[in-house]
């Protein structure tokens, strides 16, 4: 059995990673995957190109500017192409639509989530760059091991206590918001390279294509298990997914029902999602302009998932559930 490292950039990715592992997706591909650990951005950029860390889940934005500087990062497959968040506010904030956010204080967190907030507001006609919305960031410090330490209140507490008027939130934290009595306003999903992305380096692509093939097949098996086996998956989420808080049955069900339909059964990303994350890369690197020298698709290597898909592997996983392949690329 081959041992590989697959650390993640966000705790939320573990909801899927635990299910892939517990359902035996990687084991059936003769892989021992060390996944339950976080990695910071700098270590990801230092260790993946050398092959010391074989794969990383995520790292979606900084890679474009780094490619212009000689980095060899490669994206192989995408688990989710939509950021399915809702608008959270207080009943007394006077917010009923996105337009009502104009002139308000909007809470945000993290590098990529913060850019998601910036882009979503901008695409809704509310440009934070022109002071139409004031963004208040949740104060988190990234420690050397990649974990993030909260230095003050969480976003939900900030909204609840009036330090900001609204924020975006997805499951399972969305359910925590509801239990706090906060107001939830539905908004359309944002196309986004988001959640678990299978990322590696050119050195892995060139020297260990068999490991990559098996890694992706294991992920595809785990996604199929997640989508097909609702009850078993909910039990895994309750038992294993603790990094976002202990999930009771109701929370685990809501997380499942939110995530399962969005999982890509063939791992092909949505092109609008790539376009949006590229806009965020340009924003993050606007002072230097390095990201602008890289084509939006330059980091993506689709040939592994294309070969797997052409072999009939994914179709066979869903042979009794073909409806789950509808409205997905391939």
- d(Cα 233, Cα 49) in Å, to the nearest integer? 34
Give SS3 for 81. Answer: strand
Give the pLDDT confidence score for residue 130 in this predicted structure. Answer: 81
pLDDT digits (tens, 9 = 90+) for 32-66: 999 999 999 899 999 998 889 999 999 999 999 99
How much is the average pLDDT of 101-126? 88
Q: For residues 256 and 71, give the distance between their C-alpha atoms in angstroms, rounded to a whole number.
A: 36
- Predicted pLDDT of residue 127: 84
- Give the domain ranges of the chain: 2-81+194-325, 85-188
Highest mean pLDDT among 24-38, 121-135, 233-247: 24-38
| 235-256 residue pLDDT tens | 999 999 987 778 899 999 999 9
Q: Give Cα 80 distance to the centre of its chain.
A: 7
What's 2-81+194-325's CATH class? alpha beta
Report the pLDDT value the prediction gives residue 143, as an integer from 0 to 100: 55
- In whole angstroms, what separates CA 178 from the centre of its chain? 22
Q: Dig out the tokens for 280 from the structure.
A: 């965020």
Question: Closest by alpha carbon to 197, among 69, 7, 52, 327?
Answer: 7
298 — pLDDT class (breaks 50, 70, 90): very high
Mean of the per-residue pLDDT values for the chain? Answer: 91
Q: In the numeric block, which tokens belong to residue 319?
A: 């042979």
Instruction: Provide the residue count of the chain.
Output: 330
In 84-216, the DSSP E strands lie at 86-89, 105-108, 134-137, 140-142, 148-150, 166-169, 183-185, 190-201
What is the fold of 85-188? D-Maltodextrin-Binding Protein; domain 2 (3.40.190)
- Cβ 40 vs Cβ 141: under 8 Å: no
Query: At residue 330, does pLDDT exceed 60?
Result: no
CA 181 – CA 273 distance, rounded (Å): 32
Helix (H) or strand (E) segment spanning residue 313 = helix 313-317
85-188 shares the fold of 2-81+194-325: yes
pTM of the model: 0.89
Distance in angstroms (rounded) separating the CA atoms of residues 101 and 96: 9
Question: Has residue 137 got a pLDDT over 70?
Answer: yes
Token digits of residue 19? 């299910």
Q: pLDDT of 261-291, one tens digit each?
A: 999 999 999 999 999 999 999 999 999 999 9
Strands (E), 166-317: 166-169, 183-185, 190-201
CA geometry: angle at 172 spanning 166 and 173, to 5°? 30
Q: Kindly tell me if the per-residue pLDDT of 319 is higher than 60.
A: yes
């Amino acid at each position: 059995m081959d041992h590989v490292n697959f650390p993640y950039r966000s705790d939320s990715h573990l909801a899927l990673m635990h299910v892939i592992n517990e359902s035996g997706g990687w084991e059936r591909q003769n892989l021992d995957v060390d996944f339950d650990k976080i990695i910071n951005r700098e270590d990801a950029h230092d260790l993946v190109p050398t092959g010391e860390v074989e794969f990383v889940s995520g790292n979606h934005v900084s890679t474009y500017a780094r490619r212009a500087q000689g980095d060899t990062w490669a994206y192989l497959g995408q688990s989710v192409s939509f950021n399915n968040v809702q608008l959270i506010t207080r009943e007394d904030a006077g917010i009923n639509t996105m337009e009502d956010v104009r002139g308000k204080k909007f809470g945000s967190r993290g590098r990529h989530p913060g850019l998601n907030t910036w882009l979503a507001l901008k695409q809704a006609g509310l440009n934070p760059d022109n002071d139409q919305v004031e963004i208040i960031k949740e104060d988190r410090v990234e420690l050397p091991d990649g974990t993030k330490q909260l230095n003050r209140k969480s976003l939900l507490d900030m909204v609840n206590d009036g330090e900001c008027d609204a924020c975006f939130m997805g499951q399972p934290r969305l359910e925590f918001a509801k239990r706090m009595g906060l107001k939830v306003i539905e908004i359309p999903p944002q196309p986004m390279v988001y959640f678990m992305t299978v990322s590696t380096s050119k050195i892995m692509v060139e020297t260990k294509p068999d490991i990559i093939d098996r890694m992706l097949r294991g992920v595809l098996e785990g996604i199929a298990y997640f989508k097909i086996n609702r009850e078993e998956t909910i039990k895994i989420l309750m038992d294993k997914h603790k990094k976002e808080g202990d999930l009771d049955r109701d929370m685990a069900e809501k997380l499942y029902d939110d995530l399962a339909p969005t999982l890509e059964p063939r791992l092909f990303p949505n092109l609008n999602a790539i376009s949006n994350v590229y806009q965020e890369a340009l924003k993050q690197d606007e002072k230097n302009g390095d990201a602008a020298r890289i084509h939006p698709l330059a980091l993506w290597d689709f040939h592994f998932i294309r070969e797997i898909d052409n072999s009939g592997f994914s179709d066979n996983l869903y042979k009794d559930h073909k409806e789950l392949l509808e409205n997905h690329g391939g």
